[in-house]
Amino acid sequence: MPEITKVALDAMGGDNAPGEIIKGAVDAVNSNKNIIVYVVGSKEAVDSELGKNTYPSDRIKTVYSTEVIETAEPPVMAIRQKKDSSIVRGLHLVKEGECDAFVSAGSSGAVLVGGQLLVGRIKGVERPPLAPLIPTSKGVSLLVDCGANVDARPNHLIQFAKMGAIYMEHVIGVKNPTVGLLNIGAEEDKGNALVKETFPMLKNISGINFAGSVEARDVITGDVDVIVCEAFAGNICLKTLEGVAKTLLSEVKKGMTSSLKAKIGAALVAPELKRSLKKFDASEYGGAPLLGLKGLVVKTHGSSKAKEVKNSILQCVSFKEGRISERIEEELKHADMEEA
């Protein structure tokens, strides 16, 4: 009998909550029968949105909460004070083992802080990084860390490399994934102090398929499977990528609809163009997991629609089946023993 993956879902977070979020839950349970989603949110919102959809009733459960953490709220305070918020309630379901994972499109800060405070870090993990999958020309790469730990130290980056490689191998199925260090040049002597200190350490660790430095312009080409970086640089890389992709594609669209002749041309070219660009659609890959916690916490874009929510939920199944948390714990235990 296949395992069931139980996912707590924040119905109140994100620009398109609750409608698109709950539609994502419905689409997920309708597409994979080994998922149960616990929808967490206000009774009114949850009941009303669920009422608009058709789904097997034994695979969507409701958990009613009365509070919502807003994006602008200071995260630590919000997590401590809003005990009946959808984020705190959802994280508690993971903490208590009721659910395997928590997915939210709400406040990044609250999800990151709450994940660490409530779900807790795996023994040995110093700083859990946020690790989104980035669509590339060749498929998909993992960017660790893209926003959780600014001003990280070299030993944190080493852990990011290990956790990222485990994720790519056992969730995405990349055998012996290559790991690159995000840098401003290809040579070993390039970089800031952090990168210069980390480079030789990564080079000398057994079990990491280290490919050296990777320049930011080669992130999208998919040169390496795992890109390791400090969170400030990683966030700049991720957000630039998203911003440029959005702006350029909207300019392409604008150009294609600016005259009747262009519109006719656009209609002819549209199917091939869509196929060619589909692989760069980030919503295909779900959200960003916070790696190194005792349970899975996934942050999806604030702008997520049903498709991304659905894919974020499906991602939890691969994470559970790949035994990622257990493998990270074993790997870091092993590293501790090597050093001792």
* Residues near a second copy, by CB under 8 A: 72, 74, 137, 147, 150-151, 182, 184, 187, 189, 191-193, 195, 215-221, 231-233, 235-249, 251-252, 254-256, 258-259, 261-262, 264-277, 280
Shortest distance (Å) from residue 178 CB to a second copy: 18
Q: Which is nearer to a second copy, 63 or 69 (CB)?
A: 69
Q: Which is nearer to a second copy, 55 or 280 (CB)?
A: 280
Shortest distance (Å) from residue 138 CB to a second copy: 11
Shortest distance (Å) from residue 109 CB to a second copy: 8
Q: Which is nearer to a second copy, 157 or 219 (CB)?
A: 219
Element holding 212 (H helix, E strand): strand 209-215
Element holding 275 (H helix, E strand): helix 260-278
Cβ atoms of 131 and 324 within 8 Å: the answer is no
Report how far residue 161's alpha carbon sits from residue 332's, in angstroms, rounded to the nearest whole number.
12
Report how far residue 185's alpha carbon sits from residue 83's, in angstroms, rounded to the nearest whole number.
47
Shortest distance (Å) from residue 267 CB to a second copy: 7
DSSP string for 119-160 = I-BPTT-SSPPB--EEE-SSSEEEEE-SSS-TT--HHHHHHH
Report how far residue 6's alpha carbon sits from residue 282's, in angstroms, rounded to the nearest whole number.
24
Q: Which is nearer to a second copy, 64 or 280 (CB)?
A: 280
Shortest distance (Å) from residue 145 CB to a second copy: 11
Shortest distance (Å) from residue 128 CB to a second copy: 17
| Residue 278 φ/ψ, nearest 5 degrees | -60, -35
Q: Which is nearer to a second copy, 207 or 243 (CB)?
A: 243
**Exposure string (b/e) for 320-338, b if CB count within 10 Å is 16 or more?**
bebebbebbbebbeebeee
How many residues does the structure list for the chain?
Answer: 340
Q: Which is nearer to a second copy, 220 or 224 (CB)?
A: 220
Shortest distance (Å) from residue 141 CB to a second copy: 13
Cβ atoms of 201 and 158 within 8 Å: the answer is yes
Give the chain's end-to-end CA distance (angstroms, integer).
Answer: 41
Q: Which is nearer to a second copy, 5 or 178 (CB)?
A: 178
